[in-house]
Structure 1
Amino acid sequence: MICGGIDIGGTKIEARLFSDELTTVEIRRIPTPKDGLDDFIDALAEQVRWLGQLSDEGQQLPIGMALPGLIDAHTGRAFTSNLPASGHDIGSLLSDRIGRRLPLMNDCQAFALSEANGGAGEGFKSVVGLIMGTGVGAGLTVDGHVTERLNGSALEIGHIGIPAHVLVPRELPIWACGCGKRGCFEQYVSGNGLAAIGSHRLGRSVRAEEIVTSAHAGAVDHLNVLAEWAEIASELLLIIQLAHDPDCIVLGGGLSGIPGVVRLLERPYQAARLGQMRLPTIRTAIHGDSSGARGAAIMATRHLS
């Protein structure tokens, strides 16, 4: 079934039209409006109309939307940073513009759904999609379907506090997080987290890209920083396993592009595992940047049944 997906981010709103085989046919990106709710809803409506014009289905084209943050299952309200619609029922407001209500889901859940269906997690019973980019979050699927969530969230693992046995021996600061807490995993294993570790160890401001590039070129100091990041990230993998025990963890986000990232994480993960627990398969995403919109599109087709 031809379908559409809209991936809503803090900087861009991406619309994709997908074929019957869920491959991208057309893509259109527009900047995310920053100034007001009306402009934001108008931009979403514009993307919906663009998708409808590409298909014979028109107004009947299945379209799903994905965005970061929480979507309250009872009120429909979204709670998210960097978007002008936080605290509002985006689905209802958009339906007033376009004449129908579109299904809406968390972007990490959309990523996991995409990769569990024709992606890197295909064939596994339970799949966690772990995104490590600007932020850190995850989604969970079982038998290729997303799980019901009380608060409409994904796995908010980026805001789990790092254990003392990870920070204390390394003498790393307990960095403040944007969520209001301190010592969240997101501040250490995201792209900004990798840069923070690098800046702390190297004594100067560095970006994550510099660390990865220099480490790949053999710079010892940068290799050490990357190895330390992997050790901390492996503790997050262990927490995922202890909490959900998935068959497969699929890595997404910018840091999933680190050369040899699976091997980099597997070694400390083996050392950190609990007893003789079998480790889940770790893979990198197949659909990459398209997974948010693709997962939303899959949800939209299922929403019809």
Structure 2
Amino acid sequence: MISSELDAAGVRDPELRDAYARCRAINAQYGRTFFLATRLLAPEQRPAVHALYGFARHADDILDDFSAASVDERANRLQGLATDLFKRLVDNVDSGDDPTLTAVTHTARKYGLDWQLFDDFLESMRMDLTITDYPDRAALGRYMYGSAEVIGLQMLPVLGTVGTREEAAPYAAALGTAFQLTNFLRDVDEDLVRGRVYLPADELAVHGVDREVLTWCHDNKRTDQRVRRALAEQHEAARRVYDYAEGGIAMLAPRSRPCVSAALTLYSEILDRIEEIDFAVFNERATVGKRRRLAVAATGLTRAWRARRAGRGS
């Protein structure tokens, strides 16, 4: 399957093909929902998406290497990653033999992705090394610009638009934010174990919630009523972002709409599961079942096939 995708994308160089194959394997292993949605794209679009995911995952793995590396070591490794990518993208100098860098550099050049988008992403990764709490939504938003919105903006040239990218950009950025807000709610317990709280402190405080209360919930595997009310409010905020982002799907190239629609559906249904378990996120992980994921994918495949067929006929 990867060979046909790379053939469709015009990737012939053996080393480059190996690099893209590695990124695809990373996506398949760690990004189940995202990978499934990617299958709805045209074959020639998929390698670029795998490359962007592979690079982001590489940075995330450096960031979360708590057991083997100190903060300074992880900071140095992130800086090394940034330096190597800068040399490739800006200085046009090969640096290192990291397959994720090889693939993402090729993708960035092919689709005209600016270095600044990658630098903004890496800046948010650096923030995670030292920042563990966010006082308000504005502060959290600054983090999410690099960690989530930028991902949507990187994807936009790969997906294509029917109008200008500038018109579609706010919606693409919002979808990245919606996905990340969903992860914050689903993974609040896991993030707490890592010492991080990705929820605005002032909005939690309205409900009498702080880190100490969240830690009690973790220790007792229970969701305190104050926390339940606070999470419900965050849940509503995430829903509003999804509602806005959905308006941008019609701005995408028709062949890309089934993929993005499926991803939006599946991620938003994680919010449904969180609500269905009554925000018991400290003792249960909210997931969308395999049968449902496959059903959404099957519908998306039919729509994607029809869109690509119509595109060939036009």
TM over 0.5: no
Q: Which has the higher helix share?
A: 2
Q: Which has the higher strand share?
A: 1
TM-score of the aligned structures, taking structure 1 as reference length: 0.35
Greater RCO, CA 8 A, separation 6+:
1
